Structure 1
Amino acid sequence: MKKLLWKLLGSLALVATMGSVQAAGGGHPLDSAPNRVNSEAALQHGAKLFVNYCLNCHGAVSMRYNRLRDIGLTDEQIKQNLLFSGEKIGDLMNVSISPKDAKAWFGAMPPDLSVIARAKGPDYLYTYLRTFYKDDTKATGWNNLAFPSVGMPHVMWELQGIRTAKYVDEKDPHDATKTIHVFKGFEQVTPGKLKPQEFDDAMGDLVAYLQWMGEPAQLDRKRLGVWVLMFLAVFTVLAWGLNKSYWKDIH
């Protein structure tokens, strides 16, 4: 039994090691996204960015505009700041682009973003949104470190500005006869409307909104979970005291 347990632990360690090696060599390293799901200000700013820059091509068919009340927006604020094409406050966040046009322009219909944060993870989205760069060899004129040869153009280039990626050829540490293309940073060609830190903060807010949109009830669920754990803790103490009192005269 002991030998079987050690073999199992060894197998798990080997799988974990292989997984970490694959993650390290599987692409551009991911940056940690700031945790702002509890910030109404961040969620409201993220919702504004989403509607202005993402909703032109990507839908969110699981979300209605009036659900934005949950992040502190009034119906009037939603109407004035987030409804631009005659939508109603109770409408779903549908995309206006037709599948035919999307296929002609991008090769495929852009994916729905209702649960993209749950599918990809906040760190991936945060890195992806911040690592676009100009690449004239691509059909859209843009490329991305987290998603090489991405079909989506950099829709927020005016905010971030235009950048190019600097690469150098180095010898492959695993094979001296080969060379590899190593990323060495970005070069700012033209400035954007936002400073680099401001743009990163804006993308953090957008990612926070995408996280919240994937499960709008998550904050209520977490708050309720705290009360449930507190109740169970008190009930455990009472149950322990009752059990002790019941068995105290029995030897």
Structure 2
Amino acid sequence: MKKQLLAILLLVSPALALASSGEVHLDKVQINPENKESLQRGARTFVNYCLSCHSAKYQRYNRMARDLGMNEEDVIDNLMFTGDKIGDTMDIALSTKDAEKYFGAPPPDLTLVARVRGVDWLYTYLRTFYLDDSRPFGVNNLVFDKVGMPDVLWQLQGWQKPIYETETDSEGHEHRKVVGLELVEQGSQTPEEFDRTVRDLVNFLAYMAEPIKLERQALGIKVLLFLFVLLIITYLLKKEYWKDIH
């Protein structure tokens, strides 16, 4: 009986975790993997602001150049700061030991983060850092509470402060809850420009998570068309073979 209860708890716990994470509203984002200009802008943002600490060790520079319609020489001159050859993976110089010393834990590799978290989560997360003096880097995040990384895009977005609302629980205890964010110091971009920058970055992260997506979809359409034609031919053959039996 105990084993059965344990099995039920193991099955139910992921659903409970998803339900608890659903309290945070995620902003919807529309990305276009066919927009190579957006992907190129996203790659530039990723290299300049993310690649110092986060690797993308399952993505190669030459594959990125080919898929995004970029010249390899331009990639070497403008986007390669961690590798020596165009065929290298997008790794970082920061060692695991140093990362643990600076951040408490190594920053995760971001090659597949869009598939793990989802594009809406990433889009909301990157836009909802806010000032919090209680945190080691002076910021917290609306989606990822007690986040352990700095706001690397603050120069573009600026600084936001939280808007609190006091709630009373069933036991009569009062708690402060963040219900919104207010921009107190604008960065080098307007809110609309920053939203586009983040959208381009998320578009690039989604591309990295599945570089073959467009090719896979195109191949899927061809396969379905082939099967449809094969179905017609098979049906006509069946009628031809069985016409004399009836």
TM-score range (shorter-chain normalised) is 0.7 to 0.9
Decide which of 106, 114, 122 is 2:103's aligned counterpart.
106
- The answer to whether the aligner puts 1:64 opposite 2:60 as a matched pair is yes
- The answer to whether the aligner puts 1:33 opposite 2:29 as a matched pair is yes
Counterpart of 1:51 in structure 2 is 47
Where 2:178 maps in the other structure, the secondary structure is strand
The answer as to whether partners of 1:122 and 1:207 remain within 8 angstroms in 2 is yes
TM-score for the superposition, normalised by structure 1: 0.86
- The answer to whether the aligner puts 1:205 opposite 2:200 as a matched pair is yes
Which 5+ residue runs of structure 1 have no aligned equivalent?
Answer: 1-14
What is the CA–CA distance in structure 2 between the aligned matches of 1:216 and 1:64, rounded to whole Å? 11
What is the CA–CA distance in structure 2 between the aligned matches of 1:20 and 1:219, rounded to whole Å? 34
The equivalences for 1:112-131 within 5 A come to: 112-131=109-128
Report the alpha carbon displacement of residue 35 of structure 1 after superposing the two structures with TM: 2.3
Report the alpha carbon displacement of residue 182 of structure 1 after superposing the two structures with TM: 3.2
Where 1:150 maps in the other structure, the secondary structure is coil
The answer as to whether partners of 1:59 and 1:94 remain within 8 angstroms in 2 is yes
Counterpart of 2:73 in structure 1 is 76
Question: CA 1:45–1:96 in 2, change beyond 3 Å: closer, same or farther?
Answer: same
What is the CA–CA distance in structure 2 between the aligned matches of 1:183 and 1:118, rounded to whole Å? 27
What is the CA–CA distance in structure 1 between the aligned matches of 2:233 and 2:156, rounded to whole Å? 58
Number of residue pairs the alignment of both structures matches = 234
What is the CA–CA distance in structure 1 between the aligned matches of 2:124 and 2:21, rounded to whole Å? 16
The answer as to whether partners of 2:54 and 2:107 remain within 8 angstroms in 1 is yes
Question: CA 1:85–1:111 in 2, change beyond 3 Å: closer, same or farther?
Answer: closer
Letter of the 2:56 partner, please give it.
A
Residue deviations 1:75-125 (CA, integer Å, cap 9, x gap): 121022202356321211111212222112100111111111111111111
Residue deviations 1:46-91 (CA, integer Å, cap 9, x gap): 1111100000000111111111221111112102220235632121
The answer as to whether partners of 1:116 and 1:214 remain within 8 angstroms in 2 is yes
Counterpart of 1:166 in structure 2 is 163
State the Cα RMSD in Å: 2.2
Letter of the 1:47 partner, please give it.
A
What is the CA–CA distance in structure 2 between the aligned matches of 1:152 and 1:88, rounded to whole Å? 30
Report the alpha carbon displacement of residue 26 of structure 1 after superposing the two structures with TM: 4.2
The answer as to whether partners of 1:27 and 1:146 remain within 8 angstroms in 2 is no
TM-score for the superposition, normalised by structure 2: 0.87
Residue deviations 1:159-193 (CA, integer Å, cap 9, x gap): 00011111110234xx2724443333211111111
Residue deviations 1:188-220 (CA, integer Å, cap 9, x gap): 111111111211111111111111111211211
Identity %: 47
What is the CA–CA distance in structure 2 between the aligned matches of 1:29 and 1:20, rounded to whole Å? 17
Which 5+ residue runs of structure 2 have no aligned equivalent?
Answer: 1-10
